[in-house]
Amino acid sequence: AESIFKVLARIRGHGPRAKVMLAKCKAEINSFEACEELLREIFKGENEPVAEELQAAFVFHTMGLRKQAIQELSKIVNEHPDLPSACLFLGDVFCEAGKLDKASYCWKLATKRDRRGGGVASAARKQLDRAVKQMKKAAQNGSQKAKKKRK
């Protein structure tokens, strides 16, 4: 994925979103300095706190501190509706935590906030489709278990 985001980061109109995704990839391989450098390149001046918040969320997530990652990402999602990627990431973290309802909400929000035909919206729709399938499967398994108990 990293190589794809590197290419997209150079294409006009894809840059900021792709760079945020690339920064997340860097954090996931423990390249925190490269992650921070990318984020600071995107978020300058008055937006610098966004870079710090995303960096913190990515580091927390990479280190397994899911609760703190959720707190940071939730703050970003609420304060920066122009960052659909934050909604996507928050949905992913909720999904990892087994909170598919919250994950689905975040992915729907990412789809609404991204530009039409955008990569974040596309990724969010794919995640949402997977979650719906998981929820249906869980519901079917639950109803089958209930039938067995009644017998």
CA distance 72 to 112: 21
3-state SS of 71-111 is HHHHHHHHHCCCCHHHHHHHHHHHHHCCCHHHHHHHHHHHH
Provide the pLDDT for residue 107: 96
Residue 118 phi, psi (nearest 5): -75, 155
| pLDDT tens digits along 108-144 | 999 999 988 888 888 999 999 988 888 788 888 876 6
CA distance 41 to 15: 11
| pLDDT tens digits along 42-100 | 899 999 999 999 999 999 999 999 999 999 999 999 999 989 999 999 999 999 999 99
Packing angle between helix 66-79 and helix 48-62, nearest 10 degrees? 150
Query: Which residues, 6 or more positions from 56, have their beta carbon under 8 angstroms from its beta carbon?
Result: 68, 72
